[in-house]
Amino acid sequence: MVTNKSERTFQWINSLFFALLSLSMIAPLIHLLAVSLSAPKYANAKLVVLWPKGFNLDVYETIFGLGALWRAMGVSIWITVIGTLLTLALCSSLSYAVSRRQMRGRIAVLQGILITFIFSAPLVPTYLVIRGLGMENTLWALIVPSALNAFYVLIMKTFFAGISGELFDSGKIDGCSEPRIYASIVMPLSKPVLATIALFHAVTQWNSYFQALLFIRSRELYPLQIILRNMVIEDEASAVVGNMETVQAATPEMMKAGVILFATVPILIVYPFLQRFFVKGAMLGSLKE
Amino acid sequence: MRNRLRSLSGKDSLMLWLIALPGVLYFLVFKYVPLLGNVIAFQDYSIFIGIWDSPWAGWKHFVFMFEYEEFMNILRNTLVLSFYTLFFGFPAPLLLALLLNELRQMLFKRTVQTLLYLPHFLSWIIVGGIFINLLAVDGLANRAVEALGGQPVEFVSDSRFFRSVVVLTSMWKEVGWGMIIYLAAIAGINPNLYEAAVMDGAGRWRQMVSITIPSIAPAIVTLLLLRIGNMLDTNVEQILVFLNPLVRDIGEVIDTYVYRVGLLNAQYSFTTAIGLFKSVIGLVLIVGLNHLSKRTTGQGLY
């Protein structure tokens, strides 16, 4: 009886703990939403916590009117879509080849790939190589150098190696060439692993900004994270918004809150669809961290 | 049939090499060429003269590095920050996974998981923006401090708080995601073990200590080894968000220094030497720890 009671107390405390922890994950976003939707006088007086006071949409009217933000979002979508396609193409072809015993010297290729796990490419020489290739100030600098890594290849190669050998043999007997087996037999069977890699890579590509910081000089090529950084972290909102007098209806804090949410919403929209790949993906991904 | 298949294998191999070619080229150009490019650490490299003609400098940059007080400060910053991140950040997802495993209501458990994973998908710019707002002098955190009768604190511009801010925000962002691997390992434990334990009268606590933790120990050791091996690596995207001139004395770490001095101020050779030093330490740590772990716990990374 006693254990039963202490068990129930533990359940209560544990549930309460997780409820509060979960709340701490979402509360900051709700706070920003409330600030961005409030009237400037309340936001200025710091009276807004989790519910807007003096509801108004001026912040979003201004944000939706900012050409620079929309263009940056277009750039981010472009690098995410093209970058992910490039990763899938490069990764699946290389992984397919090294998973096939018919490839001579595949062990050496595999070892060469695994070595890059331990000897990761150094920052400064990598920067010089990318510059030397003439990728500076092009969007290629954001997608090509980060397109592949040993970890992606390892995941895909392991998956391909698990496909039944009989399928390959029957393909061979039907006269399929290696490229044909790759395209018509292996790819259709590999949707789970392709989706996992695509999820990993798309999230990284959408969120990262360091490469853009290094290589992008022209404003019209800025991805969303760089514009966001300039506005929110470097406090150069006026440089992006233009004449601040036109946005008197909002305080800088409200603008920042609104812009942060503007950049978060695309993630929140796709988040539920990504969830089904989580556990499998993270299992495979545990090595990367 | 077998013979015919074998006679085709030369052609197959060639075809497979063609399929692999773009990926192989990628690794050569973006992973191996930069590794060879480490030689500029032993040169006085100039981007105008190029790697072939730049004069050799021997160990000059390495000697300078260790005589340079600022570098020693940065090395210390990196080690201290890494230690805190490891000390607080490593056990947190493990504890959380063990506790989450005790939740009995499935719907509640799933909702909690969904919310805990969410911050992992936000960029460091967004997370930084959120916390800089919350921790500002007139932000929500300081209003709580004032409500409790304290004076407002400059969390983001006082270097005393830099490490706490970095450790806490990285925990906020990644603790849920870090849990997944442990949850998966727990899910893989044979349920018969628990049934047998219950028969023997083992309670919740006993089950956790005697079954759950030993079963996931291999995962814990592997992750710990990898983390310690990367001691000198920091998350540049995170640090750059919170780094400002007011907190530079504590906040500057190797990676941000290489970025600022090497790439922004074009001191390529010196910062390549720093990068090389960092990789060598990382290599020694990984190999050494792996050896140690194999001798003591019988398992290692390779």
pLDDT digits (tens, 9 = 90+) for B124-170: 999 999 999 889 888 888 888 988 988 888 898 888 999 999 999 99
Given a contact cutoff of 8 angstroms between Cβ atoms, the answer to whether B178 and B265 are in contact is no
Residue B258 lies in a domain: yes
DSSP state, A122?
P
Q: What is the mean pLDDT of residues A170-176?
A: 84
Distance from CA of A117 to the nearest CA of B (A): 10
In a domain, B7, yes or no: no
**Taking Cα atoms as reference points, which of B19, B22, B37 lies closest to residue B262?**
B37
Kindly report the CATH number assigned to the domain that includes residue B206.
Answer: 1.10.3720.10
Q: Which of A 55-84 lie inside 8 A of B, CB atoms?
A: none
pLDDT per position as a tens digit, B199-218: 988 888 888 889 999 999 88
Report DSSP letters for B226-266, one per residue.
HHHHTTT---HHHHHHH--GGGHHHH--HHHHIIIIIIIS-
Residues of B in contact with A214 (CB under 8 A): 259, 263
For the CA atoms of B50, B51, B52, B55, what is the dihedral angle to 10 degrees? 90
- Chain B interface mutation, best of A124, A152, A182, highest count of B Cβ atoms under 10 Å: A124
Would B1 be classed as within a structural domain?
no
Quick one: pLDDT band at residue B300, thresholds 50, 70, 90? confident
Share of chain A above pLDDT 70, in %: 88
What count of other Cβ atoms lies within 10 Å of the Cβ of residue A41? 11
Contact B20, A94 (CB under 8 A): yes
Of residues B8 and A161, the one with the higher pLDDT is A161
In a domain, residue B31? The reply is no
- CA pair distance A23, A30, nearest whole angstrom: 10
Structural domain of B94:
40-296
Q: Is A2 at the interface with chain B, CB within 8 A?
A: no
Position A280 scores a pLDDT of 59
pLDDT bracket for residue A245 (50, 70, 90): very low
- pLDDT tens digit string along B20-41? 999 999 999 999 999 999 999 9
Tell me the sheet residues that pair with B56: B43
Chain A residue numbers touching B126 (CB-CB < 8 A)? 228, 260, 263-264
> From residue A57, how far is each of A33, A34, A53 by CA, in Å?
11, 11, 12
Compute CA A19 distance to the chain's CA centroid, rounded to the nearest angstrom: 27
Q: Is residue B142 part of a domain?
A: yes
Contact assignment for B22 to A94 by CB distance below 8 Å: yes
Task: Judge whether residue A81 has pLDDT over 70.
Answer: yes
Q: Which of A49-58, A245-254, B180-189, B242-251 has the highest mean pLDDT?
A: B242-251
- Say which range, A41-45, A143-147, A254-258, B150-154, has the weakest mean pLDDT: A41-45
Residue B3, pLDDT above cutoff 60: no
Q: How many domains would you assign to chain B?
A: 1
Distance from CA of B142 to the nearest CA of A (A): 11
How far is residue B232's CA from residue B253's CA, in Å, rounded to a whole number? 9
The domain segmentation of chain A, as residue ranges, is 1-56, 58-289
Provide the β-strand partners of residue B43: B56
B178 assigned to some structural domain: yes
Asked if residue B289 belongs to a domain, the reply is: yes
- CA geometry: angle A164, A183, A280, nearest 5 deg: 60
Q: What pTM does this model have?
A: 0.90
Distance CA B131, CA B125 (A): 10
* Contact between B237 and A116 using a beta-carbon 8 Å cutoff: no
Is B212 within 8 Å of B101 (Cβ atoms)? Answer: yes
Q: B25 — contact with chain A (CB < 8 Å)?
A: no
pLDDT average, residue stretch A87-101: 94
On whether residue B290 sits in a domain, the answer given is yes
pLDDT in tens, A107-118: 999 999 988 887
How would CATH label the architecture of A58-289?
Orthogonal Bundle (1.10)
Please report the pLDDT score of residue A282 as a whole number: 55
| A206 CB within 8 Å of a chain B CB | yes
Asked if residues A84 and A235 have their Cβ atoms less than 8 Å apart, the reply is no
Q: What angle do helix axes B91-100 and B106-117 make, rounded to 10 degrees?
A: 160
Residue type, B202: A
Q: Is B128 on the interface with A (CB under 8 A)?
A: yes
